[in-house]
Amino acid sequence: MKLSLFIVLFLAVFFSACTDDDRPVLQVEAKIVDGGNPAVDGCGWLMEINGENYKPKSLKEQFQIDGLEVILFYSTTGVSYCGMGSNELTSIAVDKIYKK
């Protein structure tokens, strides 16, 4: 009985320990890139960081300007596919964003 209680408590703590809030928030300079309309196999709005493209989960309309340079606070959230699934991009959650 004690062993099964220990296992249940261990699993509950283990699976609740890593949440989205535990991801580090990074600050970088980035450039907004128009990756093309997703309806015709484009990738939508992207963030270019150190020469690599990232896919934001959402981007406010006021920042949807191709070539716009920004200061970005973000955390990674996984992988995103676009362009008929042929482009694998790291997806990010934008915490804060400012025009440079």
Is the pLDDT confidence value at 5 over 60? Answer: no
Token couple for 85 = 């699934």
Residue 5, domain member (yes or no): no
Selected residue with higher pLDDT from 89 and 4: 89
Query: Helix, strand, or coil here: 16?
Result: helix
Q: CA dihedral defined by 80, 43, 57, 54, rounded to 10 degrees?
A: 70
Domain membership of residue 88 (yes or no) is yes
Residue 1 covered by a domain:
no
Q: Tens digits of per-residue pLDDT, 20-74?
A: 556 789 999 999 999 999 888 899 999 999 999 999 999 999 999 999 999 999 9
Report yes or no on 16 lying in a domain.
no
CATH number at residue 44: 2.40.50.500
Looking at the domain assignment, is residue 35 inside a domain? yes
Give the range of the structural domain holding residue 83, as residue numbers without chain letter: 21-99
Q: For 91, how many CA atoms within 13 A lie in the half-sphere containing its CB? A: 11
Specify the number of domains making up the chain: 1
The reply to whether 9 falls in a domain is: no
**Residue 41 lies inside a defined structural domain of this protein:** yes
